[in-house]
Chains A and B, each alone.
Chain A
Amino acid sequence: MSKPFSVPVFPAPLPQTPGAEGNGASNAADLLDDPAEWPHFGRPLAGAQAGERWESHLVIEGMHCAACALTIEDALRAVPGVEQVEVSSATRRARVLWNAGLARPSQWLDAVRKAGYRALPAVDVAAREQRLRENRSALWRWLVAGFCMMQVMMYAWPAYIAQPGDLSLEMEALLRWASWVISLPVVLFACGPFFSSAWADVRHRRISMDLPVALGMGITFGISTLGTFAPEGLFGREVYYDSLTMFVFFLLTGRLLELRLRDRTAGALEALMNRLPDSIERRGSDGGFSRVALRRLVQGDVVRVLPGEVFPADGSIVAGNSRVDEALLTGESTPRWRTVGAQVSAGSVNLEAALEVQILRLGPDTRFGEIVALMESASLQKPRLAQLADRVARPFLVGVLLAALGALLWWWPSDPQHALMVAVSVLIVTCPCALSLATPVAMLSAAGALAREGVLVRNLQALETLAGVDTVVFDKTGTLTHDRMALAQAELAPGWTQAAALGLAAALARHSLHPASRALVAAYEAMAPGASPAWEVLDASETAGRGISAQVRPAGSTDVPRAVRLGSAEHAAVERPDLDGVQVSLAWADGPQAGRWCAHFALQEDLRSEVPSLLRALAAAGIGVQVLSGDGSASVARVAERAGIAQWRGDCTPADKLEALRALQARGRRVAMVGDGLNDGPVLAAAHVSFALGSAVPLARLRSDFVLLSGQLRLVGQCGLLSRQTMRVVRQNLWWAAGYNALCVPLAVVGLMPAWLAGLGMAASSLLVVTNAARLARTLPPLHAASATPSLPVAAVARA
């Protein structure tokens, strides 16, 4: 079977685009106009005009703060045919919705280039190379600035300590000349990005963080050069090479660390996205295996996955067996044993032996593909607080420029040189970057930490909402229990032991798939593991919903078989026992003992082991818990009682649930819904925040804000704790950024802040914000910690 063309596969390498710099850039962009390339960095949107509307992802180079993100958004939106644009300053990624009938990728890529930035399609190979280049050049600029700073400081030292007359004029001139030479690489090379980005700002009549910084650097270097070569001029003979190189070094240190932290924070998401191999061994028509690129695979191909390799697609095993690590997709850390016929998912790792796998689903259709699509769209959303910061950033920068100008004019009449240096300090000390990074960085670190535990955040905004939740509603009993029952109690007739009764019941139960039957079999196997069956069962038959009838005789004997029944009391024709839970009776149906019961078993829903600690943690955090279930009231009551939940309702229709939810919300409660994410669309949508324990459900159909891939209920509590921590960090960051700027700008305006200190302050404040957020990425808060701190104050901590 051959197919005319391959299904869109991702992520697949782009064709090499040599010389993508400068003139070559437009050619590379033209290549992307080929519709065959589009699936590699985006996907078509379903809907009325299928195949017309596309969603594409870009990596943006040269972006430094929130104001840049706004500029790029504006530039992209101005292109006809581009319908929707989201640019994230934290991840430097852009999402573009565009209409293939009206626009081509080269047009909007060009728009980004004209705005002064470089856009690359977000395909992994290209993105990875770009990351490496970016890291290397950041490190290189930092080393140049650092080393030159040390040297300049050495040349400046004699002037610091010299008494009048110690230093001859020639010697001083020589030292200044040497400082000037060593400062040149710093200004021309290490500051390059600041200047080019500021120049782009000027040309496009807009403003970003780099404009004041570049102005400050330019002015300082200008004054110092004049002081060196024209000491008799207006600006006197003072030089500031030491201040200049030091604050460039501090700024670059900040940027470098920020870059590293961002890489690590994005690491959890990136690890997910960069997971698939580039190539794989495929079985050809001659039966031999040859290595082909991932995008050449089609459905139905058989591929060989070697130990240590990652499965490229969803498929079923046709040969071999091995242990498979599915941690990334399910959060389940123990490797699973997989044999012929078992399903494997793209993105999981083959650990032990080579497997041959027939491909069932490829690319975006795989579970892995769904997860990646979810993560990509989630990491782009701007939380409300971040939007606020973005709006503040631009007027703030205008204010800073005006303040610098004001300070300059005020000091000019007394001392032009001092006036310029004060203006420089004002320009440098302000840090709107800290303000605009405060929220997105914290939310992304949190999302990264959750992703490692198998929790997908579909909507970053939800983290903010979750922090304020005070009621958790479980919309199914099944979310609190395993989807199986467990033997709770057995009542035995005289003459029977539990082992004997259970052995006979299990022998019958093996012929049925009813949950109660499976519970009996499981209970017997747990009691006597590996025991050979004590009974031979002949012609077993199941009456649906009632029970099983069969003929049995002791194993190995040739006795006349006896009729026996297992099931409800009516089925077994015995009196109803007085037991709690679902009852199953075992009784002889013929012979002298006909109608005499042998044993009654009581089965109960198997409460998940993590439920008690989850409920304790929620209670400790001041969060109420309710159950609104569609199951019968009796079983809901049983589960609620065993879990210790006081408020419950059974027999709810979806309309009832919606009504109950609305009633809660009308009383001012903020509600999180936990369900399987499928059946209760309107209910999930109506809740403030929703969780889905979706392990077997197509993710694209889930409507919830959080998806717990591993189905571990404790993560609901941990998400809640983490969201509170996240909001605490966001508030700290915002307060810090606002307080820092409020304190430092006035100090600089009155001339109390030298340029080097201003540079240090700016770098440190940006860095502090990012480091504070990176705390969230470490591990999820453990549940038991919650009980140690009874109340979780969400108070802002401002440090001045």
Chain B
Amino acid sequence: MDILYVLIPLSVGLVLLVLLALWWAVYRGQFENVDQEAERILRDN
């Protein structure tokens, strides 16, 4: 089980990376106009 001593710090780093991805998504406006994007596929062009 010694591998846990590597995996736990690794998971902490992973969490920070995920947070970075979320930050990117929020500030690029990925969560705004959610409904509108869902309807886009129903449009012809």
Contacts and interface: CB of A to CB of B under 8 A. Distances in A.
Do A and B truly interact? yes
Interface of A: 132, 135-136, 139-140, 143-144, 147-148, 151, 155, 170-171, 174-175, 178, 181-182, 185
Contacts of B5: 170, 174
B12 A178 contact: yes
B8 interface: yes
8 contacts: A136-B26, A139-B26, A147-B19, A147-B22, A148-B15, A151-B11, A151-B15, A182-B12
Contacts of B9: 174, 178
A140 B24 CA distance: 10
Interface in B1-45: 1, 4-5, 8-9, 11-12, 15, 18-19, 22-23, 26-27, 29, 31-32
Nearest to A185: B19
Contacts of A143: 19, 22, 26
A170 B15 CA distance: 22
A255 to B, nearest CB: 16
Contact of B31 (A139, A175, A178, A181): A139
Nearest to B23: A140
A175 B8 contact: yes
A155 to B, nearest CB: 8
Contact of B11 (A132, A135, A178): A178
B9 to A, nearest CB: 7
A271 to B, nearest CB: 16
Contacts of B1: 171
Q: Which 10 A-B pairs have the closest CB atoms?
A: A140-B26, A143-B22, A151-B15, A178-B8, A178-B12, A181-B12, A139-B26, A136-B26, A174-B8, A182-B15
Query: Most chain-A Cβ atoms within 10 A of its Cβ — which of B11, B15, B23, B27?
Result: B15
A171 B4 contact: yes
A434 B8 CA distance: 41
A210 B29 CA distance: 29
Contacts of B12: 178, 181-182
Given A171-B4, A174-B5, A140 B11 contact: no
A140 B8 contact: no
Contacts of A135: 32
B3 to A, nearest CB: 12
The prevalent SS among residues of B at the interface is helix
B15 A136 contact: no
Contact of A140 (B4, B18, B27, B32): B27
Nearest to A189: B19
Contacts of B23: 140
Contacts of B8: 155, 174-175, 178
Contacts of A171: 1, 4
Contacts of B26: 136, 139-140, 143
Given A151-B15, A171-B1, 4 more contacts: A136-B27, A140-B23, A155-B8, A171-B4
Nearest to B4: A171
A775 to B, nearest CB: 21
B4 A144 contact: no
Contacts of A155: 8
Contacts of B32: 132, 135
A169 to B, nearest CB: 13
A45 B7 CA distance: 68
B37 to A, nearest CB: 16
A502 B32 CA distance: 63
Given A178-B11, A182-B12, A147 B31 contact: no
A144 B26 CA distance: 11
A64 B22 CA distance: 25
A181 B9 CA distance: 10
A171 B5 CA distance: 8
Nearest to B26: A140
A170 B8 CA distance: 12
Nearest to A151: B15
Contacts of B18: 147
Contacts of A174: 4-5, 8-9
Nearest to A179: B12
A174 B7 CA distance: 11
A144 B19 contact: yes
Nearest to A181: B12
A238 B31 CA distance: 38
Contacts of B11: 151, 178
Contacts of B19: 143-144, 147-148, 185
Contacts of A181: 12
A181 B8 CA distance: 11
A178 B22 CA distance: 20
Contacts of B15: 147-148, 151, 182
A175 B4 CA distance: 10
Query: Most chain-A Cβ atoms within 10 A of its Cβ — which of B9, B12, B29?
Result: B12
Contacts of A132: 32
A185 B18 CA distance: 13
Nearest to A143: B22
A140 B27 CA distance: 8
A164 B32 CA distance: 49
B27 A144 contact: no
Contacts of A182: 12, 15
Contacts of A170: 5
Nearest to A142: B26
A177 to B, nearest CB: 9
Contacts of B4: 171, 174
A214 B29 CA distance: 30
Nearest to B1: A171
Contacts of A148: 15, 19
A139 B26 CA distance: 7
A140 B9 CA distance: 24
Contacts of A140: 22-23, 26-27
A677 B10 CA distance: 72
B2 to A, nearest CB: 10
A259 to B, nearest CB: 13
A151 B27 CA distance: 23
A136 B29 CA distance: 8
Query: Most chain-A Cβ atoms within 10 A of its Cβ — which of B5, B8, B29?
Result: B8
Contacts of A175: 8
Nearest to A137: B26
Nearest to B16: A185
Query: Most chain-A Cβ atoms within 10 A of its Cβ — which of B9, B22, B23, B26?
Result: B26
Nearest to A168: B1
A171 B2 CA distance: 9
Query: Most chain-A Cβ atoms within 10 A of its Cβ — which of B19, B23, B31, B32?
Result: B19
Contact of A144 (B22, B29, B31): B22
Contacts of A185: 19
A167 to B, nearest CB: 11
A575 B28 CA distance: 84
A175 B22 CA distance: 24
Nearest to A180: B12
A132 B8 CA distance: 37
B6 to A, nearest CB: 11
